[in-house]
Amino acid sequence: MKIARHTVASIEYRLTDDSGELIDSSEGHAPLQYVHGTEGIVPGLESALEGKGAGDVVDVRVAPEQGYGERDEGQIHAVPRKQFPPGEIKVGMQVQARGQGGDVVLTVFKVEGDVVHLDANHPLAGVPLNFHVKVVDVRTATAEEIAHGHVHGPGGHHHH
Ligand code: ZN
């Protein structure tokens, strides 16, 4: 079976940046499972995996516009320190805020006196992504998985 719209693909992957630095890997975990055609993974990787089958190895460099998007300097915010709960605020800390489209995660990138500088860009925005992927398994998605856009059962999503 080949990866196509509404199949469930299981993949092992290594993700590195352009300098070869490891960003993420499935090593030591179960393979990543996703429903193809539901934007469960970044678009550039999804299109590179189209038509592949179990055992196939794919190396692809995904540009930011097909990955986590370009960095948007409009997503930088300066917030007074007093708007945060008491406690230490450190560079690299992530805070959650309620935005127009739901909760957004912001990363503290600078603390300057009484001002905290936050970045709402995805940490991988603007970063070209180098994927090394091995397809482990491909199967048909259930109607429920297609409707939910995620995988159910072992290694997947569990509803309570
Ligand atoms: Zn579900």
Same domain, 97 and 29: no
Do 42 and 115 sit in the same domain of this protein?
Answer: no
Percentage of the chain exceeding pLDDT 70: 99
Q: Give the span between the Cα atoms of 29 and 12, in whole angstroms.
A: 9
Whether residue 41 contacts residue 151, with contact meaning beta carbons closer than 8 Å, is answered with no
Q: Which two tokens stand for residue 115?
A: 């001002």
**C-alpha of residue 71 to centroid of ligand 1, in Å:** 31
Q: What is the 3-state secondary structure (H, E, C) of the chain?
A: CECCCCEEEEEEEEEECCCCCEEEECCCCCCEEEECCCCCCCHHHHHHHCCCECCCEEEEEECHHHCCCCCCHHHEEEEEHHHCCCCCCCCCCEEEEEECCEEEEEEEEEEECCEEEEECCCCCCCCCEEEEEEEEEEEECCHHHHHHCCCECCCCECCC
Domain shared by 58 and 90, yes or no: no
Q: What's the gap in Å between 22 CA and the centre of ligand 1?
A: 30
Q: How far is the CA of 61 from the centre of ligand 1 (A)?
A: 30
Per-residue model confidence as pLDDT tens digits over 75-121: 999 999 999 888 889 999 998 888 777 888 899 999 999 999 999 99
Q: Is the pLDDT of residue 35 over 90?
A: yes
**Alpha carbons 97 and 111: distance in angstroms, whole number:** 18
CA 117 to ligand 1 center in whole angstroms: 36
- Higher per-residue pLDDT: 40 or 129: 129
Ligand 1 center from residue 110 Cα (angstroms): 38
Residue range 32-48: mean pLDDT, rounded: 95
Q: Calculate ∠ Cα 25-31-36, nearest 5°.
A: 105
Tens digits of residue pLDDT in 43-67:
999 999 999 999 999 999 999 999 9
Binning pLDDT at 50, 70 and 90, where does residue 160 land?
Answer: low
CATH, residue 29: 3.10.50.40
**Residue-number span of the structural domain to which 94 is assigned:** 73-119
pLDDT tens profile 11-30 = 999 999 999 999 999 999 99
Residues 43 and 110 in one domain: no
Task: Give me ligand 1 centre to Cα 92, in Å.
Answer: 32
Confidence band for 2, pLDDT divided at 50, 70 and 90: very high
Q: Which residue has the higher pLDDT, 123 or 14?
A: 14
Residue with tokens 């970063």: 127
150 CA → ligand 1 middle, Å: 6
